[in-house]
Amino acid sequence: MPANLPPEYQKAEAVYRSASGPEEKIEALQEMLRVIPHHKGTDKLIAQHRKKLSQLRDETQRRAATSRKGTRVHVPKEGAAQVALIGMPNAGKSNLVRNLTRATPEVAAYPYTTLMPAPGMMPYLNIWIQLVDTPPVTFEGGKVWLPNILKGADALVPVLNLAGDPLEELDQVLSILKGWKVFFEGMEEALDAEPGFGKVLKPVLILANQVDAEGAAESFEILKERTEGRFPLFAVSAEEGTGLEDWKPELFSRLRIIRAYTKSPGKDPDLDDPVILRSGGTVEDFAESIHKDVRKGLKHAKIWGSSKFDGQKVTRDYVLQDEDIVEVHT
């Protein structure tokens, strides 16, 4: 095994080895590829991981295609990231997805309207973020596939109802997700204390809905005190449209993605269709996102943006920043 593998890599590798299914293995492999150092000593290992990741993705697609209706549910990822909205019955998730995207999930005043995940695409800056309206999380269980949907998402957005008891809703959501071994960033101590494997830690942002309801302002202040700054918290109204733009910059930050733009020699950069990478992504990752043959033939790149000067020549392990312009040379 190559030397100098960081603790984050070793932790992800342990999760991979103990994973019970392809979805968990895919997530662990993605984390391993994200944190592994890029140098000659790791080139072979990276190639092996990428090959295995491709095989696992093919396997999950085959299983989804051949599984019987109702026994397995999968939401293919689209856009820059996939974000799952979660909450108790009648929290307002479907109304939020309807108003933030072009999707048309069923919205009603009675609980359990959402029975299957309903994805929609939310525009932000020059990218699209996939929001997934999920069935309510309850102690009664029911949707055996829901934990895998949440574990596969890039971030989670709990939706709490300020017209009800948002503190109780938050406690119930946290308790149910703990049983599924899903934890929010900010709960690292709880995750470390939980025995067993298959645990995941997800970026989170809480939307407190129905801010226009009677007593909502007081409920929101109490909720802020209860969360003690552990989780980003935004007051919104799906019905009135209040605050629906305010939380998007924080979500983008929590997703830890960067946009990099392609540029051909002698031509202007393409600023309309960015390549999406995870924070810490390198020139090599950028080339791989374009095509595996581009990565294989990569000699160097020129960078505009985070470089010391425009058009600086950099190597394949150069770490890109948001909105860098990259000219690949093969």
Work out the pLDDT band at 62, boundaries 50, 70, 90: low
In the block, tokens 């690292």 appear at 188
Check residue 17 and report its DSSP letter. Answer: H
At 60 the pLDDT is: 65
Enter the pTM of the model: 0.74
Work out the pLDDT band at 111, boundaries 50, 70, 90: very low
> Per residue in 6-21, pLDDT tens?
888 888 888 888 877 7
User: Any long-range contacts for 101-104 (C-beta under 8 Å, 24+ apart)?
Assistant: 101/131, 103/131, 103/133
> Average per-residue pLDDT in the chain?
86
At 124 the pLDDT is: 95
Work out the pLDDT band at 69, boundaries 50, 70, 90: very low
Sorted by where each begins, the domain ranges of the chain are: 7-66, 81-255, 257-329
Rounded-to-integer distance, Cα 266 and Cα 16, Å: 44
Rounded-to-integer distance, Cα 208 and Cα 243, Å: 10
CATH superfamily of 257-329: Beta-grasp domain (3.10.20.30)
Residue 290 near residue 262, CB atoms below 8 Å: yes
Collapsing DSSP to helix, strand or coil, 15 comes out as helix
Task: For 138-168, give the DSSP string.
Answer: -TT---TTHHHHHHHSSEEEEEEETTS-HHH
CA-to-CA separations, 83 to 155, 205, 241, 318, in angstroms, rounded: 5, 10, 20, 29
Rounded-to-integer distance, Cα 79 and Cα 243, Å: 23
Mean pLDDT over residues 307-315, rounded? 92
Residue 159 near residue 207, CB atoms below 8 Å: yes
- Is 132 or 16 the better-scoring residue by pLDDT? 132
CATH architecture of 81-255: 3-Layer(aba) Sandwich (3.40)
Mean pLDDT over residues 272-291, rounded? 94
